[in-house]
Amino acid sequence: MTRNTSDHCSGQAGTGRYAGRHEPEDLPGSTILTTDFRAKSPAWRLIKSYTYMIRNSRNIHFLIFFFAVVSFLAACRQPVSKGDTAAGDKGNTTDAPVFTKAVLKYAHGFLIDYHDHYKLLSVLNHAGGKTDTMKFVLVQEGTPVPEGYPGAQVIRIPVKSLVVMSSMHVAVADFAGVADRITGLGNFSFINSPLVRAAIKEGKVQQVGLDGNINNELIITMHPGILMTMSNPDASFGKYKTLMDAGVPVLPNAEWLENTPLGRAEWVKLMAALVNREGLVNKKFDSVERVYNELAQLGTKATTRPHVIIGMPFKGTWYLPAGESYQAKFLNDAGAGYQWADTKGIGSLALNFEAVAPEALKADYWMNLAQVDTKKEIVGKDPRYAGFKPFQTNGIYNNTKRVNDLGSNDYWESGAVSPDVILADLIHILHPELLPNHTLVYYKQLK
Amino acid sequence: MQGTIRKSRLLGLVLLLLLAFLLDIAMGPVKIPLRDVLRILFSFRSGNSTWQFIVEQIRVPKACTAVLAGCGLSVGGLQMQTLFRNPLADASILGITAGASLGVATVMLAGGGMATLYAIKEMGFSGSWFVTGAACLGAAAVMLVVLILSRRISNNVMMLIIGIMIGTITLSIVSIWQYFSEPELVKDFLLWNFGSLGGVSGGQLFILGVVVFIGLTLAFLSSKMLDALLLGENYARSMGLTVQRARVIIICSTSLLAGGITAFCGPIGFIGIAVPHMTRLLFRTSSHRILIPACCLTGTLLMLLCDVISQLPGSQTVLPINIITALVGAPVVIYLLLRNKNIRAY
């Protein structure tokens, strides 16, 4: 059992992250049938405009051209419709499009409702006891925008080009196999994905700036299908008003507010809905979920619970993940003892250095220390840290194994959608006997 | 009569100070019985190694830092208020603190990129010494500019305005940097900007101690010049004082105090403005031979009390010291002013 899980996990680490990148587009959702072709189709509008031109023209060539266009359109339309019906509707007799639905099990931050030719996406914010919602109507290309959703932003799907702000968004796009659709990035130096870095080198991606420095004019001229930001849905959206007025849908990705690693990773399904790849993404996520849950069972049943401290204090304040955060969940599932596991909140606790020191002095492991690579650097920050037990027993592990030459850490990129790999790393560190054959992917021991 | 009151007040301050020092060491998020605290303090031994670590490595260095910062900032503020004969002056008025901020911003925000920080680290510099060194360099650079200008300017009011301008320019450069930096880096810088007494220990504490000692020695030596300057520059000249040389000594002293403390603790506001006023009102004198040591005592006392409050007794968290100094200091100054109804000695 142990052996199996371990092998599976390493496999996941090696191939899982970028698998699917070259898979073909999921067809069932990507093409569409309308109930009334003539009323809404752009082709029909084209025909109407040509009819108008012909009425006002005596030129016979126009007439010939007109018939050529009409017959060409008819020829194109016919077989696609037939094929689509055959592939898409499973016993469905109507002409409505059939989406493979994204099934959400862990994420609390968004909901997707499926309708005949559109999806209704709600991005939720549960802060302060109330639930705020931002609504988005994901309308299949070539179909009309549904009525009755005032205030909702309209996104045409499948989204063909993305402007993203954080490395997490890159990871999500990579997971869904659409990283090649990224045309704009907040900042080039935060990226790990080899595919996106190659695209940057070829000049296919533009740097659009982050937060206050967003280059609105550049983004508007790029006409992206969507702009994905990392802001809290509750935060002021004022700075994006110009972009939204210019017709660029702005979608906040609040995955960091999720309280479980799987919930955070499940935001890949939001990306799936945007590019009509629910089928593929569901399948890939299921495998991540299965491995994670198997590992979590292994970890939570461990007989010992070695104590762990997290993070690097700064100027007398020590920020530690709160008990309801996904980081705390990671520790729990990995079979770690975490002093602050029962605290409330999903963010971090700002604790007095002294309040953490007693735990740090006797903890078994010290993890996620931000940007340090050696024990010497830790002492360089503050000589007092040498007194901590993990320092003396070589129990310091940092999540910086996959930091690239730009200083960007893949833990926050591919790691965000590979919680199973991170959990395997943690279990291997805390309980080596449970996963003896695992090789650390994101973590490394500091010496 | 006046002398006895002054002496008894001085003695009272010393006692209060000792009490505050003990209070600062005895209080903290981890409850340690006073008996054990005292045992650790005096015999350097205790049955509980965790308590020993907390008292020796955390609380005592923090209390010592509070003492040094309290002394230095209040004396620096007193010197500036006298030199410029302006009740609003404090140790940071000449832009020295802003210079330290610029140094820290250079390191922390590193040209606005994670990559630059990474490159610096690859070159082998790292740790808190690097940040502190940069802050010292920044403060020294601004001090140099101020000193060069002070040789060319005969008027103290002009000096004051030019100092404020230099500070403003320096802070604008920092702001530009902040504007173009990544949020995480800005957050670190912001935390530094809140000020903290908790990050100084070991060798750093020793260096801070030496810097503050030199600065205070210069201040004590300049007390006669300060007394003369109080009467106006012309009068001081007539007493045989070389105003420009006095100015250089006073600026050097304040720069060392403000620059050094800001480098190690981050900018700590308000103490420099409030303590000289409190001391003047408390001792009813304008003689710097009394005011300077009295400022040391009052500043230290206030800083220690602020540190105790910033630990939010009974809680696990800590508030930035900069917030507390203003919250506690301002009402005290207002109260003292209302009781005395006039500011003297300018």
Distance (Å) from the alpha carbon of A350 to chain B's nearest alpha carbon: 6
Q: Which pLDDT band holds residue B85 (cuts at 50, 70, 90)?
A: confident
pLDDT surpassing 50 at residue A209: yes
CA–CA distance, B176 with B172 (Å, rounded to integer): 6
pLDDT surpassing 60 at residue B240: yes
Contact between chains at B58 and A354 (C-beta distance less than 8 A): yes
Of the given ranges (A139-153, A233-247, B143-157, B243-257), which has the lowest mean pLDDT? A233-247
Contact between chains at A407 and B115 (C-beta distance less than 8 A): yes
Verify that A320 and A381 share a domain, yes or no: yes
Contact between chains at B117 and A358 (C-beta distance less than 8 A): no
Asked if the structure places residue A19 within a domain, the reply is no
Nearest CA in chain A to B60: A354
CB pairs under 8 A between A and B: 111
CA–CA distance, A190 with B121 (Å, rounded to integer): 17
In this predicted model, which residue has the larger pLDDT, B153 or B10?
Answer: B10
Q: In what order do the strands lie in the sheet with A444-445?
A: A308-310, A365-367, A396-398, A444-445
- pLDDT per residue as tens digits for the range B21-77: 999 999 888 888 888 888 888 876 667 888 888 888 889 999 999 999 999 999 999
Domain that holds residue B315: 2-340
DSSP A249: -
Asked which of A276, A300, A329 is the last residue of a domain, the reply is: A276
Verify that A134 and A223 share a domain, yes or no: yes
Q: Tokens standing for B122?
A: 């690859």
Q: How confident is the model at residue A89, as a pLDDT?
A: 35
pLDDT surpassing 80 at residue A115: yes
pLDDT surpassing 90 at residue A390: yes
Q: What is the mean pLDDT of residues B201-208?
A: 85
Contact between chains at A387 and B57 (C-beta distance less than 8 A): yes
Contact between chains at A384 and B201 (C-beta distance less than 8 A): yes
In this predicted model, which residue has the larger pLDDT, B92 or A82?
Answer: B92
Residue A321: is the preceding peptide bond cis (ω within 30°)? no
Q: How confident is the model at residue A258, as a pLDDT?
A: 87
Contact indicator for B233, B156 with CB cutoff of 8 Å: yes
Contacts of A315 in chain B (CB under 8 A): 191-192, 196, 198-199, 266
In this predicted model, which residue has the larger pLDDT, A140 or B131?
Answer: A140
Q: What is the mean pLDDT of residues B113-127?
A: 51
Q: How confident is the model at residue B3, as a pLDDT?
A: 76
SS3 B342: coil
**Entry pTM:** 0.75
Verify that A245 and A351 share a domain, yes or no: no
- Write the residue in B29, B126, B188 that is nearest to A380 by C-beta: B126
SS3 B194: coil
Asked if the structure places residue B276 within a domain, the reply is yes
pLDDT surpassing 80 at residue A65: no
Host H or E run for residue A135:
strand A132-140
Q: Tokens standing for B238?
A: 């007539």
Asked if the structure places residue A436 within a domain, the reply is yes
Verify that A106 and A83 share a domain, yes or no: no
Nearest CA in chain B to A209: B180
Supply the CATH number for residue A408's domain: 3.40.50.1980
pLDDT surpassing 70 at residue A392: yes
Asked if the structure places residue B145 within a domain, the reply is yes
Question: To probe the interface with A, which of B55, B261, B310, B317 has the most A CB atoms within 10 Å?
Answer: B317
pLDDT surpassing 70 at residue B115: no
Q: How confident is the model at residue A1, as a pLDDT?
A: 37
Contact between chains at B318 and A350 (C-beta distance less than 8 A): yes
Verify that A312 and A262 share a domain, yes or no: no
Verify that A123 and A271 share a domain, yes or no: yes
Q: How confident is the model at residue A126, as a pLDDT?
A: 67
Asked if the structure places residue B113 within a domain, the reply is yes
Q: Tokens standing for A420?
A: 């199973």
Among B14, B173, B165, residue whose Cα is nearest residue B109? B173
Q: What is the mean pLDDT of residues A305-312?
A: 94
Asked which of A219, A247, A276 is the last residue of a domain, the reply is: A276
pLDDT, mean over chain A: 79
- Write the residue in A212, A315, A372 that is nearest to B196 by C-beta: A315
In this predicted model, which residue has the larger pLDDT, A169 or A372?
Answer: A169
Q: Which pLDDT band holds residue A330 (cuts at 50, 70, 90)?
A: very high
Q: Tokens standing for B341?
A: 């109804």
Asked if the structure places residue A125 within a domain, the reply is yes
Verify that A295 and A404 share a domain, yes or no: yes
The 10 Å Cβ neighbour count of residue A366 is 25
Q: What is the mean pLDDT of residues A251-272?
A: 90
ipTM above 0.85, yes or no: no
Contact between chains at A406 and B192 (C-beta distance less than 8 A): no
Domain that holds residue A78: 33-88
Contact between chains at B50 and A358 (C-beta distance less than 8 A): yes
pLDDT surpassing 90 at residue B291: yes
Of the given ranges (A194-203, A323-332, A431-440, B118-127), which has the lowest mean pLDDT? B118-127
Asked which of A88, A110, A129 is the last residue of a domain, the reply is: A88
Q: How confident is the model at residue B338, as a pLDDT?
A: 82
Verify that A106 and A81 share a domain, yes or no: no
In terms of Cβ atoms closer than 10 Å to its own Cβ (0-12, 13-18, 19+), residue A404 is middle
CA–CA distance, A438 with A6 (Å, rounded to integer): 6
In this predicted model, which residue has the larger pLDDT, A130 or A202?
Answer: A202
Asked if the structure places residue B346 within a domain, the reply is no
pLDDT over 70 percentage in chain B? 90
Of the given ranges (A35-39, A154-158, A242-246, B174-178), which has the lowest mean pLDDT? A35-39
Contact indicator for A224, A162 with CB cutoff of 8 Å: yes
Q: In what order do the strands lie in the sheet with A162-164?
A: A206-207, A182-185, A162-164, A226-229, A250-252
In sequence order, which ranges of B180-286 are alpha helices (DSSP H)? 183-193, 202-221, 223-230, 233-238, 243-265, 271-283
Asked if the structure places residue A56 within a domain, the reply is yes
Question: To probe the interface with A, which of B25, B49, B50 has the most A CB atoms within 10 Å?
Answer: B50
Domains of chain A: total: 3
- pLDDT per residue as tens digits for the range B136-170: 888 888 888 888 887 787 777 888 888 889 889 98
- pLDDT per residue as tens digits for the range B266-287: 889 889 988 998 898 888 888 9
Residue A41 sits at the chain B interface (C-beta within 8 Å): no
The CA-based diameter of chain B, rounded to the nearest angstrom, is 67
Distance (Å) from the alpha carbon of A365 to chain B's nearest alpha carbon: 17
- Angle among Cα A127, A256, A312 to the nearest 5 degrees reads 110
Q: How confident is the model at residue A34, as a pLDDT?
A: 36
CA–CA distance, B229 with B235 (Å, rounded to integer): 8
Q: Tokens standing for B292?
A: 């300077």
Domains of chain B: total: 1
Q: Tokens standing for B308?
A: 């105790």
Asked if the structure places residue B345 within a domain, the reply is no
Distance (Å) from the alpha carbon of A87 to chain B's nearest alpha carbon: 47
Asked if the structure places residue B70 within a domain, the reply is yes
In terms of Cβ atoms closer than 10 Å to its own Cβ (0-12, 13-18, 19+), residue A216 is middle
Host H or E run for residue A206:
strand A206-207
pLDDT surpassing 80 at residue A83: no
pLDDT over 90 percentage in chain A? 44
Verify that A236 and A366 share a domain, yes or no: no
Verify that A102 and A243 share a domain, yes or no: yes
Contact between chains at B317 and A361 (C-beta distance less than 8 A): no
Pairing assessment for the beta strands A396-398 and A153-157 based on DSSP bridges: unpaired
Residue A383 sits at the chain B interface (C-beta within 8 Å): yes
Asked if the structure places residue B267 within a domain, the reply is yes
Q: Which pLDDT band holds residue A274 (cuts at 50, 70, 90)?
A: very high
Asked if the structure places residue A13 within a domain, the reply is no
- pLDDT per residue as tens digits for the range B305-328: 999 998 887 788 888 888 888 888
Q: How confident is the model at residue A296, as a pLDDT?
A: 95
Most confident of A179-183, B153-157, B341-345: A179-183
Supply the CATH number for residue B128's domain: 1.10.3470.10
Q: Which pLDDT band holds residue A25 (cuts at 50, 70, 90)?
A: very low
Verify that A62 and A207 share a domain, yes or no: no
Verify that A314 and A429 share a domain, yes or no: yes
Q: Which pLDDT band holds residue A389 (cuts at 50, 70, 90)?
A: very high
Asked if the structure places residue A386 within a domain, the reply is yes
- Angle among Cα A79, A85, A89 to the nearest 5 degrees reads 165
